[in-house]
A = this chain, B = another copy of it.
């Protein structure tokens, strides 16, 4: 902890899993002087007060951002345009606006137009999370050793970028700078498609006759339970991800479907060599993930 915090005043718009974890991680590292928080519902605000997660809680996002040196939007990306429209004219000159969303082109599109001159927009995405939602689910260590991808639009003030990088380093993250469109493509395969598929197979299982469904739960240790964990993630957040990364998700989904059809054909025709070949090649990428300490 230094004598002078990186940001004297921070405003967090949204205090779910990520927002509340960010508050905890900033406090752990002494990165913020005063942390102001906004949550939309009275229930969440009461929970945040009870847990003592921020220094002040605000009913309106506009009031929350007043005087803030850093504003981080931590709500589902579908709400960004409305949030930005509300806070835009209350932002302090020289402030930095950032976010934690899982899609990044949308930030420039929906938030960008509401950012006044002299305020800096530096979108970011901490690639970390759990299947749990809400302020009570957050923890300070969530970002430790994980990657945060920072996606500044071209022409962004370098000092502002450096401060966002310092913020996430201070929260335990490793940093990657990326172009927003490329981010959305990489995350489509590493995060969005896995979630879609997990939601889908769990949905297929819920469509089975009731007896079989009880058995699905009982014998889920055979692989299915890992998918149910992912498919327990926040529905609104994920709805908004898919609505806002359509092109990249459809592209990756197309590739996946082609590959799945090829496997289906191999099963139908008893082509063991094809199956074994695919199942063997996939082991290498697991080793890569273990070597990269992301397992």
Residues of A within 8 A of B (CB): 78, 102, 127-129, 131, 146-147, 149, 176, 185-187, 189-208, 212-213, 215-233, 235-236, 238-240, 242-243, 246, 249-250, 252-253, 255-257, 259-260, 263-264, 266-268, 270, 272, 275-276, 278-286, 288-289, 292, 294-295
Choice from B194, B222, B253, B284 contacting A224 with Cβ under 8 Å: B194
A82 to B209, CA, bound (A): 37
Q: Is the CB of A217 within 8 A of B282?
A: no
Q: Is the CB of B223 within 8 A of A226?
A: no
A259 to B218, CA, bound (A): 23
Q: Which residues of B contact A280 (CB under 8 A)?
A: 235
Q: Is the CB of B226 within 8 A of A242?
A: no
Choice from B131, B219, B224, B263 contacting A199 with Cβ under 8 Å: B263
- Min CB distance, A241 to chain B, in Å? 9
Q: Is the CB of A257 within 8 A of B260?
A: yes
Q: Is the CB of A276 within 8 A of B235?
A: yes
Q: Which residues of B contact A263 (CB under 8 A)?
A: 196, 199-200
Number of copies: 2
Residue of B nearest to A279 (CB): B235
A232 to B218, CA, bound (A): 24
Q: Is the CB of B147 within 8 A of A218?
A: yes
Choice from B185, B202, B204 contacting A255 with Cβ under 8 Å: B204
Choice from B185, B191, B208, B229 contacting A286 with Cβ under 8 Å: B229
Q: A193-B201, A207-B259 are in contact. Are A217 and B279 (CB under 8 A)?
A: no
Which of A215, A219, A263, A280 is most buried by chain B, counting CB atoms within 10 A of its CB?
A219
- Min CB distance, A16 to chain B, in Å? 15
A276 to B200, CA, bound (A): 12
Q: Which residues of B contact A221 (CB under 8 A)?
A: 127-128, 146-147, 294
Q: Which residues of B contact A223 (CB under 8 A)?
A: 190-192, 194-195, 198, 230
A102 to B222, CA, bound (A): 9
Choice from B255, B264, B281, B295 contacting A250 with Cβ under 8 Å: B264
